[in-house]
């Protein structure tokens, strides 16, 4: 009798502990969900305010009010407006990088493959020119700062460069180009040209995507012409 009572008590205690554990997990999950929702509201609000007022005129107070959070909460995610702009751009740029490379047909000439990849970037920066200019202006310095968003953005940058390197390496393996240098150096040249042209194009008060890509294509064609091209390189 006593044994059965003791067993029942232990079972009740076990059930109670299990319910407490489930409740704690639920609360942790709820807190994480709330954090994610706040982060998305902050990112969305920051982008809206930046596009409406411009980076310089926007304030963190306005962004926090628009996102329905306190400024202290906003600063938990971003120390200042620079952090905010990279917070917004990190996921968007990573997404367009992945889409750009996934859209590249293998049978296209190498030059056209590059244009497919970089077209996504031109379209992205064209849709938010002011924010894009600020992003490109801050990037050379911000990338090396000891900030969480700088580290995260650096990871996305490396993803871009890795995929571009793979595209170049594949073009070499398929004999579309036969450079005298290794594929890493070729990647650096292509990326440097793209970065320079993107900045130059975006400084135009009325940049047009097709005009920008036309000029970029001319530069890439010039580079490829110096890489001992085969008949299917262009």
Residue 189 is part of a domain; what is its CATH number?
Answer: 1.10.357.10
* Among 75, 95, 122, residue at a domain's last position: 75
Torsion 131-92-81-39 (CA) sign? positive
Global pTM reads 0.76
Domain check: are 120 and 189 in the same one? yes
Per-residue pLDDT tens listing for the chain (234 residues): 556 666 666 666 666 666 666 555 545 566 778 888 888 899 899 889 988 888 888 899 999 999 998 888 888 888 888 888 888 887 788 888 888 898 898 899 999 999 999 999 999 999 888 888 888 887 777 766 777 777 777 788 888 899 999 999 999 999 999 888 899 999 999 999 999 999 999 999 899 999 999 999 999 999 888 766 666 766
- Structural domain including 91 reads 80-225
CB 138, CB 55: distance < 8 Å? no
Domain check: are 93 and 196 in the same one? yes
CA nearest to 165, candidates 179, 151, 150: 179
Domain check: are 130 and 188 in the same one? yes
* Among 55, 75, 95, residue at a domain's last position: 75
Domain check: are 86 and 71 in the same one? no
- On whether residue 232 sits in a domain, the answer given is no
**Looking at residue 85, what is its pLDDT?**
86
CB 29, CB 38: distance < 8 Å? no
Helix boundaries (H) for 68-208: 71-77, 81-102, 110-127, 129-142, 148-173, 183-202
Domain check: are 67 and 91 in the same one? no
**Looking at residue 92, what is its pLDDT?**
82
**Looking at residue 79, what is its pLDDT?**
85
**Looking at residue 30, what is its pLDDT?**
63
* Among 40, 56, 75, residue at a domain's last position: 75
**Looking at residue 180, what is its pLDDT?**
83
CB atoms within 10 A of CB 159: 15
Main-chain phi, psi angles of 61, to 5 degrees = -65, -45
């Amino acid at each position: 009798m006593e044994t059965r009572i003791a067993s029942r008590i232990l079972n009740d205690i076990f059930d109670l502990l299990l319910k407490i554990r489930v409740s704690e997990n639920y609360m942790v999950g709820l807190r994480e969900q709330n954090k994610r929702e706040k982060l998305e509201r902050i990112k969305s609000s920051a982008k809206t305010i930046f596009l409406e007022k411009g980076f310089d005129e926007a304030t963190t107070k306005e962004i926090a009010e628009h996102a329905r959070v306190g400024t202290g909460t906003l600063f938990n995610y971003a120390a200042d407006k620079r952090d905010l702009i990279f917070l917004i751009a990190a996921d968007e740029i990573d997404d367009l990088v992945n889409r750009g490379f996934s859209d590249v047909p293998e049978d296209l000439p190498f030059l056209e493959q590059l244009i497919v990849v970089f077209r996504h970037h031109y379209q992205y920066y064209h849709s938010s020119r002011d924010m894009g200019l600020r992003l490109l202006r801050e990037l050379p310095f911000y990338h090396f700062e000891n900030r969480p968003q700088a580290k995260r953005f650096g990871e996305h940058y490396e993803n871009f460069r890795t995929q571009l390197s793979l595209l170049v390496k594949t073009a070499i393996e398929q004999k579309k180009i036969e450079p005298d240098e290794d594929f890493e150096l070729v990647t650096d040249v292509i990326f440097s040209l793209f970065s320079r042209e993107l900045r130059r194009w975006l400084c135009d008060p009325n940049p047009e995507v097709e005009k920008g890509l036309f000029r970029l294509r001319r530069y890439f064609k010039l580079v490829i012409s110096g890489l001992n091209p085969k008949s299917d390189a262009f």
